[in-house]
Amino acid sequence: MNDANRRLLDDLLAGKHRALARVISKIEDRSAGYRDLVSALHEHTGDADVIGITGSPGAGKSTLVDKLAKHYREEGLTVGVIAIDPSSPFTGGSVLGDRIRMASTNGDMDVFFRSMSARGSLGGLSTATADAVKALDAFGKDKIVIETVGAGQNEIDVVKAADTVAVLVPPGSGDDVQMLKAGILEIGDVFVVNKADMPGADRTVQELREMIHTRQDYTETGHHGAGALEAVAEPELADDGEGWEPRLLETVAKTGEGVTDLVTALSDHAAYLDESGAREERERQRYAEEIRTLLREDVNRLLAAEIDRRGGLDVLVEAVVERERDPYTVADDLIEPLAECLDRGSN
C-alpha cells in the first residue's frame, strides 16, 4: 500500500468522515490501490449490524430508511446508509442525489449517507457494495443500511451483503406480490406493507401471508442457508427450533407509524442470528460467494487482456463465422495459458 492510501486508512480508522467518503469513492470508482485499502480494512470489520431494504420502486424505501436512521440515532447508535440509485444517462452518477432524501437526519454527522450509482448495470455493484459496507464497518458504524433500486435479481445480489433483509411492498400491488415468487421470497426476513393507510393494504397483507404459508415446506438454499419458511399467522418470533419465521408488518413511513415495530423485528432477527449460530454460517456463505465473484472478475480481466493481445474479439469471431475455427477451440486456446500457469504453480 502506498503512503497516501496508508494515511487515508489511518484517518478512516481514526473516525474522520472525509477519509471515509474518499475510501468509498475509491471503491466505487475502482481506483488504483482500492483493493489494498479494502484488504487492510477487513481485520477491522465484523461489529456492525447490516440491514438490507429492498422492494419495488414506489414502495417508500427511502422514506422508511430515513425514519429508521432517525430511530437509531435516538437510541444513540451511529448509522451508515448506502443507497443504490439509478444512473444519470448524462453523467453516469446518481440521479436521486445524497442528502435530499434524509431530511430527518440532515446535518447529523453520525449518519453517513452515500448514494452509489448503478451506472446502467448492477452486475459488479454487489462487490462494490460489500466493500463499502466494510469501510463503514471499520469506521465504527453501529447500523449499516443498504437500500436498493428495486427488487429484481440484481438487487437480490446486492442485498446479500446484509445480515437482515426487509422487503417492502406497496398496498394494492398484486403484480408486485406475485413478483416476489421470482426469488426475493427466499431472502426476506421481514416483509413490510408500507403506506398501510392506503386502500388495498389489507388485501396485500393477506396475499403476502398466504404466499409464505404456501411455502411452509420450502427450504432456503440461498442467502440464509438451512431454515424453513413457515406460515406467518401473526408477526412473532418463531420458537419451534426450525428457524426464523419471516415477520409481516404494516408501516406508514411518512408518519413514522409502525417504524418501532420494524426496528423490533430487525433487532429480534439479529438476536436470532447470534443465538442460533446462523450469523456465522451466513458470513461463511457470504465470503465464499465474494471469493467466487472476485475470481470471476479477475479471470475475466485476464482473458480480456489476452483477447486484446490476439487482435480483439472481432478477429476471433470472424474466424468462427468463416468456419476456420469453432467457439470451443477459441475458448480452449484462450484459457490454455492460464491453465498452464496454474498447473505449474501446483507442481
Q: In this structure, are 140 and 72 located in the same domain?
A: yes
Domain end: 249, 276, 303, which one? 276
The one-letter amino acid code at 302 reads L
CA–CA dist 221, 200 (Å, integer): 32
Q: Comparing C-alpha atoms, which of 135, 187, 180, 190 is closest to residue 158?
A: 187
* 76 inside domain: yes
Question: Residue 327 pLDDT more than 60?
Answer: yes
Residue 228, domain extent? 46-276
Rounded to 5°, angle at Cα 82 from 257 and 46: 100
Report the range out of 96-100, 212-216, 254-258 with the highest average pLDDT.
254-258
Quick: pLDDT tens for 314-324. Answer: 999 999 999 99
- Residue corresponding to grid cell 487482456: 305
- CB within 8 A of 136, min separation 6: which ones? 20, 24, 48, 80, 82, 112, 144
Q: In this structure, are 247 and 327 located in the same domain?
A: no
Q: Comparing C-alpha atoms, which of 30, 23, 129 is closest to residue 84?
A: 129
- CB within 8 A of 146, min separation 6: which ones? 50, 51, 52, 53, 82, 84, 129, 133, 158, 159, 161, 162
* 197 inside domain: yes
Quick: pLDDT tens for 127-179. Answer: 889 999 999 999 999 999 999 877 566 667 777 889 999 988 888 755 656 66
Q: In this structure, are 53 and 136 located in the same domain?
A: yes
Strands 79-85 and 143-147, by their bridges, are parallel
- CB within 8 A of 156, min separation 6: which ones? 54, 183, 184, 187, 223
Q: In this structure, are 105 and 219 located in the same domain?
A: yes
* 319 inside domain: yes
Q: In this structure, are 170 and 311 located in the same domain?
A: no
- CB within 8 A of 308, min separation 6: which ones? none
Q: In this structure, are 248 and 334 located in the same domain?
A: no
| pTM, two decimal places | 0.82
Question: Residue 241 pLDDT more than 50?
Answer: no
Positions of E strands within 38-93: 49-55, 79-85
- Residue corresponding to grid cell 479471470: 299
Beta bridge partners of 83: 115, 147
Supply the CATH number for residue 156's domain: 3.40.50.300
Average pLDDT, integer, range 222-247 = 47
Contact 298, 304 (CB under 8 A): no
Q: In this structure, are 302 and 334 located in the same domain?
A: yes
| DSSP annotation of 303 | H
Q: Which residue has the higher pLDDT, 19 or 219?
A: 19
- CB within 8 A of 135, min separation 6: which ones? 12, 20, 23, 24, 27, 38, 41
At 229 the pLDDT is: 31
b/e sequence 64-83, b meaning 16+ C-beta within 10 Å: bbbbbbbbbbeeeebbbbbb
Q: Which helix (H) or strand (E) holds 336?
A: helix 327-346
Positions of E strands within 9-163: 49-55, 79-85, 111-117, 143-147
CA–CA dist 83, 113 (Å, integer): 8
Rounded to 5°, angle at Cα 103 from 98 and 106: 70
* 284 inside domain: no
State how many domains the chain has: 2
* 27 inside domain: no
Q: In this structure, are 254 and 186 located in the same domain?
A: yes
Average pLDDT, the chain: 82
Contact 19, 135 (CB under 8 A): no
